[in-house]
Each structure stands twice: as structure tokens, then as C-alpha cells.
Amino acid sequence: MRIYNNLKIWIISFGTKHVVKLFILAPSTFFEICEVVMLSVSLDIGSITTKIAVLDCKSLLGTDVSLTSYNVEKAWQDIFRKTLGRMCLKESVVDRIVSTGYGRSSVGIANKTITEIKCHAEGARFFLPTTRSVIDIGGQDSKFIRIGNDGNVMDFLMNDKCAAGTGRFLEVMARALELDIADFGKLSLLAKKPSPISSMCTVFAESEVISLISRGESRENIIAGIHESIANRMLSMVGGSGFVKPVVLTGGVAKNIGIRNALEKKLNIQIQVPDTAQVNGAIGAAILAQKI
Amino acid sequence: MEIFAYFDTGHEFPEEIVMAAGFSPVKILGNVHVGTAVADEYLFSYFCPFARGCLAEALGNAQNWVGIGFAHGCDATNRHFDVWKAHVGKTPFFWVNTPMKVDTTAKGFYGKELRRFIQTLNKQYQIEIKDEKLKDAIRLSNEAKSLMKQLASMRTEKDISNSDYFEMTRKAVQTPKESLVADLKAMLADWKSRDPFPAEKVPILLTGSDVTFVEWMELLDIADFRVVRDDLSLGERYFTATIPEMADPIEALVAYACSIPQPATRMPSDSRMEFLVKVLDETKIDAVVSQNMKFCEPYALDAVWSVAAIRQKGYDVIHLERDYTPATDRQLLTRLEAFKEIIQQKGGSRNA
């Protein structure tokens, strides 16, 4: 018998297929067997970070994020073992594993690989079931996903192989500004007038930022300008009429409040951001694993 | 047999005239594994990488060729002719000015141009290309085209990988026609014995820029897409029609050039769309993959309206921009696989 998740849920392993979930209903030692549930794990191997989500049929049991680094296999193996270990779960109790992200095919133990496009759509609907549009900005690409009334992906658009408008773009700009990328969001809120960044190319945009620094432009204004350039790029990729509400923003870049604000202003729509935005694809993959 | 190489961004070059001259026509396709560094000395890197790859091949191999022919494909090839002449050794160069349109004036012009090409070859190599030789070349060419058409039609029924199909179309333009016919016959026997079309594969129509290296076709294989129809020059444009066997072989070549599906480099675009619609009507396909190689402007210009027109017909279509590289493009693979997921969740195509 194992205890995890703040001692609220107990898991007993029966062979390798199913787990029985028990709830503590009172401070006493009284237990009620609720149901046979399926335990699914997902691994979302992105260009910068690897994400994991653990799910039973009703609830998200846990998530984690680690750096992908150059060794993709080691990245997913480490986070997989670490997360299961932290939750006192053996690998044998996991029923389904789905991998997603650019490194999805490297996960040999996966029952299925699913693209991050489908996973992000599913993850966004887990957060907000009525979601119709998803903007996902990750480390090396940005995506727009349109979801139909039936909850399925209708269409999607992705940036070309170019770092502009992605997490990498922000990392390069943070380096030029000698700032921690985590500070970008709050600093951009202090901007008086965003400095326009006209270059779409990351390399040229970095030169532009350096020119703005040398002209004495404030960091806050430059950062706000960088966020606007990402919003502009998303708008030009999708077109103004492409965004159907409700719109959910996912991916690691969604943690940046400045990006959200710039997108809302540029697209003139309200955007929802889940607390789990960075692991949204992994959550979606774990949900889809339940359906295999 | 001596090799007469030709640079043709479509299927415009009259191979049969070269065959009648006693040479083996070989289409220059570049070598994506070698790269374009040698050519980049003469062409900036923002020009079509396929064209730069072809120039790189010519710079390395022209001494083995008896001549180099150019056909007017996309407009940029006009200027490539001058660049090549200036930098690619002493091999004789020939220009065949193919018409942009297929009206009466264009046909008259093209007939004169083909006769001029024959006269130039006769003079350069001290030969005489007679009508009978040209008719023989047309017959041989037609035999190959007929076999290719038979082979291509098996894509909907049998387990013919995209790579296998690509290899067949590549051979057609890079192998002496006599041995090509024997190869195609052997291939036909092999393909007939193949397993049925695999259930997990998604049958598609492939349109856009010519695919000139097998790795891109393999990418489609990895994503479980199976090209069962196409409108590529290194594909159905090459063999969808045979050359009419007429009394005047030049008139036959003119009639042929004006009857085959038109590429994005030709105008008006209607006939290109007509062919795509015909293909969609006559073959069960689940989706359309439209692609253009980076810096290939004719297809990039074409893509917006052609994709919209195909969607209007009720088909799922994805448009991709690809690079000139043999490396597996993970991002393109993700797009293709996501596209496949959309098609599969719909339960197949309108024709399914």
C-alpha cells in the first residue's frame, strides 16, 4: 500500500494492469473502495523542457518539469523515475504512457505517440471545456490550434522553422538585456511606451534591441516592445478573424504576463491562462492516454 | 552512349531530340547530400537551393557531359543559363525557349524553336537528326511513359512506398531509355506481386514544387502518408500523356507539350487546377499535401489560391514549406502527423 498526494489518496497495486483508489472519508481508519481506475503517464519532450503528467481517470495526480538538455532519453527517464518515486508509485502500476513533443519518438516505453497539437488542444479543454482556440508558445515553435464544437482539432498553424516569436526568441532577448527571463513579465508592466521591434528574425531583432539599449531606451519599454512583436507575429500567422473565443494560452511562455497582455491588446480578445500552462501538453497527453 | 545533361525546372525539355541526336538525355537533379557550397560562390544563398544544387552538380561533372541543355522552366532559369555559361567549363550550352502559354501563337513559336534547336545540334556535333530517328525516339519515350503510367496506377492498389515511386520517376530522367524500359518492365512484375495497399496508410494527392530527393518522400512514408496521385514534373506530368505519333515529329512534340498538365510556372493557372480537380474526381484520396520548397516562388505564389480551391472541393489540405536538406525535419513531421490525426478523427475523407 502506498500513500501519496497529501495523504488523501491511497493506491494498492493489483498486478500490472489496474489500481484501486481508496479515499479517506474520515479521520478514522475507515476506507471506501471507490472504483477501479486507470493510471496514465505522459511525457512531453520539448526543445527546452521535458514535462510529465500523472493522471487517473478523474484527476490530475501530479506534474513536473525538467530541462531537456542534449540527452533526450536521459531527460525523460530521469523525470519519469523521479516523479513516480516521489509519488511512491512503481512503474508496473502505470497502465498507459503517451509521449508527445518533438522528442516523442525517443520514448521507447510509450504505448503511443501523439502530436503536441492534439495534446495541447486536449489539455486546454481539461482546463476550460469550452475552449475553441489555443495559442501555444513553446521553446522552439508557436502554434495556433482551432477546436471544433465536438472538441476535436479542426485546424492548426505553426510557425516556420524560425525562432522568432518563441521561447528561444525571448531567451536571446533576455541575454541581450542581461536579465532573467522570469523577470520579463513584471518588468514589461512598468513600460511607459513599448519600443517597436520591427525585425522578425531573432538575430536581427537582437541587434535591434542592442541598438535600442545604446540609444538609452528603458529595459521596460524594450521588453514590452519584444512582447508586442511576438503578438504581431501570432496575428500575422493566424489572421484577425481566426481566433474563436474562448481562447486559451499555453506553453512555457504563457507564464509571462506581458505576453498575455500584448496578445489580448493586439487581438482584442480576453485570453485564459491555466496555472498549468507549461505542462498543458503533458496533461492533454495523459488524458488521451486514458482513451487509448 | 554520351550523356547530354539538361537543366529543367519542370518537364519542358524535349528529351526525344537529344535521343535522336544519338545522346542519352540525363536530367540534372543536383545532389542534396553534397550541398550547394560550390555553387554559392556564384549564386546567393537566398536563391532556389535546388537550382544551386544543380549548378553544383554541373561544376563538378560538366567535363563528363557532351552538352548541357536548358529549357525555360521558371523565369529564373533564363538568368541561370548566363551564370552557368560563365562558370561551367567549356561544355557546349543550348537554350530551348519553351512557351508560357498553349495557344496557337505559342504552338507556332515552339515548333520553330524546336527546329532551331535541332539545327543547332546538327551544326555543333556535325550530325543530321532525321525525322525517322526522332520518330524512333518518340516511340521509345512513349513505351517508357506507358509503363510508368501503369506503374503509377498501382499506387492505389498495392503497397508501393513513396520512395519506390520516387525512384521510378528519378530513373526515368536519369537512365538511358533503352535500359529504362527493361527496368520498368521488371519493376512492373515486382509491383504486381506486392501486398495490397496498407490499411494504416493515408492516400494523398501531392502537389507543389518538384521533389528531387528521396528523403522527403521518405518523410511522407514515416508520417504514414502514401502518395497515390501527384501533379509533379518528376511524377505524373512526365507520363500522364504519350506523344502523339504524327507524320511530323516536331508537330507531335509541340502537341505533346501543350497537352500535358501545366505547372505553376505556366499561365493561365486554370489548366493546372483543372488537372488537380480531375485527379481528385477520379481517385479515392483522403487528403492533399501541398508543399513548396523554400525560395521556389512559382509554387509559393500558387499555394494560397490552389489550397483554397482544393478546400472548396471539400478536401482536407495542408500546405508546407520545406528545405533542401536530406535531414528528417521534425517540425514538418509533427505537422504531417497532426494533419493525419485530424483526418483520422474525421474517419477518413469525403470519398471514404
Nearest to A115 among B323, B334, B346 (CB): B334
Predicted pLDDT of residue A5: 39
Mean pLDDT for B207-223 is 96
Predicted pLDDT of residue A171: 86
Low-confidence ranges of chain A (pLDDT < 50): 1-34
What is the overall mean pLDDT for chain B?
94
User: Is the full-model pTM beyond 0.95?
Assistant: no
B258-287: per-residue pLDDT in tens?
A: 999 988 888 888 888 899 999 999 999 999
> Domain check: are A199 and A185 in the same one?
yes
| End-to-end alpha carbon distance in chain B | 49
Mean pLDDT for B166-176 is 97
Interior/surface letters A70-102, b for 16+ CB within 10 angstroms, e for the rest: eebeebbbbbbeebbeebebeeebbbbbbbbbb
Interior/surface letters A216-228, b for 16+ CB within 10 angstroms, e for the rest: eebbbbbbbbbbb
Helix (H) or strand (E) holding B222: helix B214-222
Output the nine-digit C-alpha cell for A249: 494560452
Q: Say if residues A82 and A51 touch (Cβ distance below 8 Å).
A: no
- Any A CB within 8 A of B82 CB: no
Subunit contact A158:B334, Cβ cutoff 8 A: yes
Give the range with max mean pLDDT: A239-248, B97-106, B343-352: B97-106
**Does B235 have pLDDT greater than 50?**
yes
Q: Can you spell out the DSSP letters for B82-103?
A: HHHHHHS-S--EEEE---SS-S
Mean pLDDT for B105-125 is 97
Output the nine-digit C-alpha cell for B170: 528519378
In a domain, A12, yes or no: yes
| End-to-end alpha carbon distance in chain A | 27
In a domain, A148, yes or no: no
Contacts of A110 in chain B (CB under 8 A): none
Order of strands, sheet of B3-7, starting from the edge strand that comes earlier in the sequence = B24-27, B3-7, B65-71, B93-96
Please tell me the total count of domains within chain A: 3
Domain B133-345 listed as CATH 3.40.50.11900: yes
Predicted pLDDT of residue B351: 41
Q: Say if residues B335 and A145 touch (Cβ distance below 8 Å).
A: no
Q: Which of 100-159 (A) contact B at CB < 8 A? A: 102, 114-118, 140-141, 152-156, 158
Chain B: closest CA distance from residue A290 (Å): 16
Instruction: Give yes or no on whether B3-130 and B133-345 have one common fold.
Output: yes
> Domain check: are A75 and A166 in the same one?
no
CATH class of B3-130: alpha beta
Subunit contact B334:A161, Cβ cutoff 8 A: no
In a domain, A137, yes or no: no
Confidence tier at B348 by pLDDT (50, 70, 90): low
In a domain, A283, yes or no: yes
**Does B64 have pLDDT greater than 90?**
yes
Contacts of A117 in chain B (CB under 8 A): 334, 338, 341
Q: Please, what sign has the CA dihedral across residues A224, A227, A233, A235? A: negative
Contacts of A154 in chain B (CB under 8 A): 342
Contacts of B323 in chain A (CB under 8 A): 161
> Domain check: are A98 and A167 in the same one?
no
> Domain check: are A187 and A238 in the same one?
yes
Predicted pLDDT of residue A7: 38
Mean pLDDT for B296-313 is 90
Q: Which of 152-171 (B) contact A at CB < 8 A? A: none
- For A151, name the nearest residue in chain B, comparing CA atoms only: B345
Subunit contact B338:A155, Cβ cutoff 8 A: no
Predicted pLDDT of residue A99: 97
Of A23-32, A160-169, B187-196, B342-351, where does mean pLDDT reach its minimum? A23-32
Output the nine-digit C-alpha cell for B113: 524553336
Predicted pLDDT of residue B131: 97
Output the nine-digit C-alpha cell for A251: 506553453
All structural domains of chain B with their residue ranges: 3-130, 133-345
Subunit contact A102:B331, Cβ cutoff 8 A: yes
Nearest to A115 among B323, B341, B346 (CB): B341
For helices B249-259 and B131-153, what crossing angle results, to 10°? 30
- CB-based burial label for B330 (10 Å; 0-12, 13-18, 19+): middle
Predicted pLDDT of residue A178: 87
Predicted pLDDT of residue A116: 95
Subunit contact B334:A102, Cβ cutoff 8 A: yes
Predicted pLDDT of residue A36: 57
ipTM above 0.85, yes or no: no
> Domain check: are A236 and A181 in the same one?
yes
Predicted pLDDT of residue A240: 67
B32-63: per-residue pLDDT in tens?
A: 999 899 999 999 888 889 999 999 999 999 99
Q: Say if residues A68 and A50 touch (Cβ distance below 8 Å).
A: yes
> In the structure, how many helices (H) and strands (E) does chain A have?
8, 14
B71-91: per-residue pLDDT in tens?
A: 998 887 778 899 999 999 889
Q: Residues of chain B with pLDDT > 90: what percent?
A: 82
Contacts of B329 in chain A (CB under 8 A): 161
Residue B160 zone, left/alpha/beta (φ > 0; ψ -120 to 50; rest) = beta
Helix (H) or strand (E) holding A83: helix A72-86
Mean pLDDT for B127-154 is 98
Subunit contact A161:B341, Cβ cutoff 8 A: no
Task: Return d(Cα B219, Cα B226) in angstroms, integer.
Answer: 10
CB within 8 A of B31, min separation 6: which ones? Answer: B53, B56, B57
Chain A: closest CA distance from residue B42 (Å): 25
What is the gyration radius of the CA atoms in chain A, in angstroms?
21
- Domain span at residue A218 reads 158-272
Contacts of B346 in chain A (CB under 8 A): 152
- For B330, name the nearest residue in chain A, comparing CA atoms only: A102
Could you tell me the CATH number of the domain that includes residue A179?
A: 3.30.420.40
| Beta-strand runs (E) in chain A | 2-4, 9-14, 18-24, 31-37, 40-45, 49-55, 60-67, 96-100, 112-113, 133-137, 142-147, 153-158, 247-250, 271-272
Q: How many CA atoms lie within 13 Å of A200's alpha carbon, on the beta-carbon side?
A: 11
**Does B252 have pLDDT greater than 60?**
yes
